[in-house]
Structure 1
């Protein structure tokens, strides 16, 4: 890892509110963070903390009221439609629900071929790349001719990851990519993310409400509350020795397999509130 691939400086995002002269809702308040090449930065916080809004702002799906978002040195905060489309080769996304993010009427081959064809890849080259993508995410070659409904949730998420990898991006925004999966499937998909990163050096902006999940996959962690970054640093330091009381409560909220420890954590969290 060397140099920042993504730099977010003083990012403010506001959404208009319904009603006469009501002030806009400020979702992000002067957010500063960066993602280095080949690094995973985890964004963690409860619902409404602003973590998903950061990811959507990077993708051009949320407004930027002020501040900057730089990708490889270029400010991408206010790109037009054409420039944003060309940027899709370098920045991709994996969404939370692997079923609703895949067209149920298209075969897996058509789903994976779509971004390649848009970028001008010919049919034979696209077919060869699809075969490599299925192998990369550990799906059988005959998966190409099947429909999304024929797969389990974990397998569908592997298809979504393959689609994100199709254009060989340098950054993938992962928006709660394992929260809809059971615990054992979560672990396998997280290991797949790690394996892919080690193989090709892609960077992740990994969004989750679960500090334990973020700790497993991230090099650094940013903790968000009410649109602000409360804590940002090395993953081990943030998760093992959090400085913010809010981060401490998030850590206590993470489930553990031992019922006695889980009860102790619950009691500690209630005491902290």
Structure 2
């Protein structure tokens, strides 16, 4: 694995919030005598308070599996996930409920993660009353503040998810993730289903939230340009391994691993001639 030292690594203050050490994930094979398929091959990452670590790779690289393992949703076969120094790799259900106060998630498809039969008010109220045991009055005040935080009108509480656009639904998902005041949010491809202008507004919103709350993000994406815009550090994942880490500028200006260079060449550019040059260079790398 090629690792590039960064100023963020050297100067980021305080504790390591989330540490993944030697993590391996394998899924059972299908059929008789099929061996398990290992998806992660000993992954190490660290996330500090108020930091965004961008995890970038193509489909099938293992990046979403890493996010799921951190959340306790993937079968870890070796290694550890530690939160504030406490091993949570195989945390039981009761402990996971407690961890929901500290670690939240925003998924790619907001419509799929929001109960279509519930109003936005009920969706936001559930974690407040179930986990934080708020009274209904306190919960309503908190919901109003959450909607204001993500720039949605107070009247949204009476509406269903289908009545909102994709970008608005993602704002609702972000509001729900913020409801418990977490210290870490796993953002799993949160803008990949949105158009470019909506992507930009959601990225701006996430940046503003981080600046005002100090929340840390593990930001998962296939798009290096998106990751570079938001992340303090970038980790490139390829076939279940972290192959390169560094700041966004380091990764894009001086990529060390061939796969990172392929990701850069896959990023769209406005000029047709430059885009054609990138396709040619990427094909040459593939042949090499």
User: Which TM-score tier does this pair reach, normalised by the shorter chain?
Assistant: over 0.9
Q: Does 1:158 align with 2:165?
A: no
Partner SS for 2:147: helix
The TM-score with structure 1 as length reference comes to 0.98
The partner residue of 2:239 within 202, 210, 226 is: 226
Corresponding position of 1:239: 252
Q: Does 1:81 align with 2:100?
A: no
Corresponding position of 1:42: 54
1:47 deviates by 1.0
Query: Could you tell which deviates more after superposition, 251-260 or 219-228?
Result: 251-260
Q: Hey, what's the Cα distance between the residues in 2 that align with 1:94 and 1:251? A: 25
Corresponding position of 1:103: 115
1:19 deviates by 2.3
Unaligned 5+ segments in structure 2 are 1-11
Q: Hey, what's the Cα distance between the residues in 2 that align with 1:234 and 1:95? A: 24
Q: Does 1:70 align with 2:85?
A: no
1:20 deviates by 2.3
Q: How does 1:166-185 map to 2 (within 5 A)?
A: 166-185=179-198
Corresponding position of 1:213: 226
The partner residue of 1:28 within 40, 52, 56 is: 40
Q: Hey, what's the Cα distance between the residues in 1 that align with 2:101 and 2:243? A: 32
Corresponding position of 2:103: 91
Q: Does 1:5 align with 2:17?
A: yes
- Count residues with an aligned counterpart: 273
Q: Hey, what's the Cα distance between the residues in 1 that align with 2:244 and 2:185? A: 22
Q: Hey, what's the Cα distance between the residues in 2 that align with 1:63 and 1:221? A: 25
Q: Hey, what's the Cα distance between the residues in 1 that align with 2:141 and 2:57? A: 40
Partner SS for 1:111: helix
Residues 14-66 of structure 1: CA deviation (Å, up to 9, x unaligned): 11101222221001001011111110001111111110010000000001111
Partner SS for 1:100: helix
Instruction: Return structure 1 stretches of 4+ with deviation > 4 angstroms.
Output: none
Unaligned 5+ segments in structure 1 are none
The TM-score with structure 2 as length reference comes to 0.93
1:103 deviates by 1.0
1:143 deviates by 1.2
Partner SS for 2:194: coil
Partner SS for 2:44: strand
Q: Hey, what's the Cα distance between the residues in 1 that align with 2:215 and 2:271? A: 35
Partner SS for 1:222: strand
